[in-house]
């Protein structure tokens, strides 16, 4: 930290404002470019288990013309949802109404059986729609689940191929080991799922895939990071970064 | 819309990914630059009305070392007064509760601050189903001091958002509530002002905007009567 006068602060702040505005304009430009991506018709029939029975992808739009899917990491062998995905999903109930009123349906999809999703959702006190893709290729096709074969001998995540995940399973401490424990699995089991978000459009009864994003492409969904990026000490996670996120009912004490 | 094959989509998507990564890196870099702004010691004493009685600015930190203040527009010049807060701030506030729980557990206290009396804030908060902390700065100069940073701005009330022209004519900092975010730090008992941002500087804190930016049709033309307070949409 460096202490300064109001005048020094103001001069530095105004210079930074110009760079912030430039970033906002670039973000707007990328949003425009996303809309120019070609729409790819989804030919495969996917089945989802929902609170209201079995649904197709077209059903999931729920009468609206756009669909956002958050690929929530909750594999069949997990005993609880991923803590980081839980921190993201924590915000959904607050704002989904505004998306719905803007012709966008948003929901979570995971490969765990519906009963597990429902039980966890009840524990966390959430209301947003959450469906199971168990038994379909949905998660594999949209790049958020991996087979054991892919984990051992290579696959692709975030549009980039990886030769093997195995070295990542060895660490006994660190974020992967911790999240594996938190989800009742081992590192390999935990990492058979990955986070992502996909967007779809519906036109004349045909569903189209328009966009998917992964990894730090999801940063904007983590609004607690966006707030921290504006706090005096920033993200402040240590080096190497420590995982400080917990499920909201697992924090100790009041801080 | 334009339809395409999976291969065409992938080629375009990967190209876009490079620009997205560049944006993420720039965003990280700006966060780093925010951390380099000088901290300005605050000498003035402010009083806030809170659910636990009157508090000073240091007391709002709740024993943490960082404080984020959301300037929520709720005062006599705001649409909905005296029963309701600003519709736009209410729209942004619908993204707050999910983030606040995680901020508190990593040394950051969050609080929304408005001019309206505490009982008005609490009644509206209950109506909207929010749980984030919300306090009143009442008749103090708190908002003026963190919106006007020169003597001229304080005297004329002009110069919202560091004098950028967009709202220059219509906003009077002496009278109007303003929409923004300010951040503070406490060290050795001294409170410092570190950062403030307004207008689209809070864009990334509104998850609805961020998600619309990733939908097939984008923000588009807002549907009529959008956004509204979440309990005012037609059934």
**Residue of chain B with shortest Cα separation from A6:** B40
Max intra-chain CA distance, chain A: 63
Instruction: Tell me: do A26 and A111 sit in the same domain.
Output: no
Amino acid B43: pLDDT: 94
Which stretches of chain A score pLDDT less than 70? 254-255
DSSP state of B165: G
Instruction: Tell me: do A25 and A93 sit in the same domain.
Output: no
Measure the CA–CA gap between A191 and A166, rounded to whole angstroms.
10
Average pLDDT over residues B139-168: 91
CB distance from B14 to chain A under 8 Å?
yes
Average pLDDT over residues B182-199: 97
Instruction: Tell me: do A99 and A167 sit in the same domain.
Output: yes
- Segment among A23-37, A147-161, B152-166, B190-204 with least mean pLDDT: B152-166
Amino acid B69: pLDDT: 98
In a domain, A248, yes or no: no
Amino acid A233: pLDDT: 92
Instruction: Tell me: do A100 and A213 sit in the same domain.
Output: yes
> Rounded to a whole number, what is the distance in Å from the CA of B42 to chain A's nearest CA?
10
Amino acid B105: pLDDT: 87
In a domain, A63, yes or no: yes
In a domain, A46, yes or no: yes
Which of B9, B95, B216 lies closest to A35 in CB terms? B216
Its domain, for residue A22, covers 1-36
Q: What is the dihedral of CA B90, B159, B201, B221, to 10 degrees?
A: 60
Instruction: Tell me: do A23 and A141 sit in the same domain.
Output: no
Average pLDDT over residues B215-224: 87
In a domain, A139, yes or no: yes
Instruction: Tell me: do A45 and A121 sit in the same domain.
Output: yes
CB distance from B11 to chain A under 8 Å?
no
Residues of A in contact with B27 (CB under 8 A): 23, 219, 229
pLDDT tens for each residue of A110-124: 999 999 999 999 999
What is the side-by-side strand order in the sheet with B66-71? B40-41, B190-198, B180-187, B66-71, B108-114, B134-136, B48-50, B53-55
Instruction: Tell me: do A87 and A206 sit in the same domain.
Output: yes
Alpha carbon separation from A201 to A34, A63, A233, B133 (Å, rounded): 13, 11, 40, 38
pTM value is 0.96
CB contact under 8 A, B207 and A228: no
> Rounded to a whole number, what is the distance in Å from the CA of A2 to chain B's nearest CA?
5
Instruction: Tell me: do A9 and A63 sit in the same domain.
Output: no
Average model confidence (pLDDT) across chain B: 95
Reply yes or no on whether the pLDDT at B106 is more than 90.
Answer: no
3-state secondary structure of B10: helix
**How many domains does chain A contain in total?**
2
Partners of A125 in the beta sheet?
none
Amino acid B166: pLDDT: 77
CATH number for the domain spanning A211: value is 3.40.30.10
In a domain, A106, yes or no: yes
Amino acid B138: pLDDT: 95
3-state secondary structure of B124: helix
The residue with tokens 């000498």 is: B43
Amino acid A254: pLDDT: 55
In a domain, A240, yes or no: no
Amino acid A131: pLDDT: 98
How distant is the alpha carbon of residue A168 from its chain centre?
A: 20
Instruction: Tell me: do A30 and A137 sit in the same domain.
Output: no
How high is the ipTM of this complex? 0.95
In a domain, A217, yes or no: yes
Instruction: Tell me: do A23 and A140 sit in the same domain.
Output: no
Q: What is the dihedral of CA B60, B62, B67, B73, to 10 degrees?
A: -40
pLDDT tens for each residue of A144-161: 999 999 999 999 999 999
pLDDT tens for each residue of B36-79: 999 999 999 999 999 999 999 999 999 999 999 999 999 999 99
DSSP conformation letters of A207-249:
EEEEEEEEGGGGGGG-HHHHHHTTSTT-S--TTTTP-----TT
Residues of A in contact with B204 (CB under 8 A): 220, 223, 226
Amino acid A132: pLDDT: 98
CB contact under 8 A, B34 and A234: yes
In a domain, A250, yes or no: no
Q: Which of A29, A64, A93, A94 to mutate: most B Cβ within 10 Å?
A: A94
Instruction: Tell me: do A62 and A142 sit in the same domain.
Output: yes
Instruction: Tell me: do A82 and A11 sit in the same domain.
Output: no
Measure the CA–CA gap between A139 and A154, rounded to whole angstroms.
17
């Amino acid at each position: 930290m460096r202490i300064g006068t109001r005048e020094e602060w103001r001069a530095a702040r105004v210079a930074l404002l110009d760079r912030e505005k430039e970033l906002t304009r670039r973000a707007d430009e990328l949003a425009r470019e996303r809309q120019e991506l070609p729409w790819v018709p989804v030919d495969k029939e996917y089945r989802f288990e929902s609170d209201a029975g079995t649904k197709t992808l077209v059903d999931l739009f729920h009468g609206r013309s756009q669909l956002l899917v958050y690929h929530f990491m909750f594999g069949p062998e997990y005993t609880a949802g991923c803590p980081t995905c839980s921190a993201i999903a924590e915000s959904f109930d607050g704002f989904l109404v505004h998306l719905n009123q803007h012709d966008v349906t948003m929901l979570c999809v995971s490969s765990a059986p519906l009963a597990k999703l429902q039980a966890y959702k009840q524990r966390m006190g959430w209301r947003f729609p959450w469906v199971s893709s168990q038994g379909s290729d949905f998660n594999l096709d949209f790049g958020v689940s991996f087979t054991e074969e892919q984990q051992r001998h290579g696959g692709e995540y975030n549009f980039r191929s990886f030769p093997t995940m195995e070295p990542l399973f060895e660490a006994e401490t660190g974020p992967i080991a911790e999240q594996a424990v938190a989800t009742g699995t081992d590192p390999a089991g935990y990492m058979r799922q990955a986070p992502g978000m996909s967007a779809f459009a519906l036109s004349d009864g045909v569903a189209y895939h328009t966009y998917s994003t992964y990894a730090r492409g999801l940063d904007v969904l983590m609004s607690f990071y966006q707030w921290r990026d504006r706090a005096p000490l920033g993200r402040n996670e240590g080096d190497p970064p420590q995982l400080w996120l917990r499920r909201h009912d697992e924090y100790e004490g009041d801080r | 819309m334009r339809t395409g094959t999976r291969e065409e989509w992938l080629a375009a998507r990967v190209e876009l990914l490079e620009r997205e990564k560049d944006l993420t890196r720039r965003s990280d870099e700006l966060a780093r630059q925010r951390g380099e702004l000088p901290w300005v010691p605050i000498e003035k004493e402010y009083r806030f009305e809170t659910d636990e009685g009157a508090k000073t600015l240091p007391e709002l930190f709740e024993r943490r070392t960082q404080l984020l203040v959301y300037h929520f527009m709720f005062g006599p010049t705001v649409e909905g007064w005296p029963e309701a807060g600003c519709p736009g701030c209410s729209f942004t506030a619908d993204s707050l509760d999910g983030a606040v729980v995680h901020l508190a557990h990593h040394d950051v206290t969050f609080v929304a601050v408005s001019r309206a009396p505490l009982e008005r804030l609490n009644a509206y908060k209950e109506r909207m189903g929010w749980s984030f902390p919300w306090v009143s700065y009442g008749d103090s100069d708190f908002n003026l001091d963190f919106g006007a940073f020169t003597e001229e701005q304080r005297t004329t009330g002009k110069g919202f958002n560091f004098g950028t022209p967009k709202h220059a004519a219509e906003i009077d900092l002496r009278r109007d509530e303003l929409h923004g975010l300010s951040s503070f730090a406490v060290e050795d008992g001294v409170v410092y002002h570190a950062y403030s941002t307004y207008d689209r500087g809070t864009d990334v804190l509104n998850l609805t905007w961020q998600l619309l930016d990733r939908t097939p049709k984008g923000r588009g033309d807002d549907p009529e009567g959008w956004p509204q307070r979440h309990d005012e949409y037609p059934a």
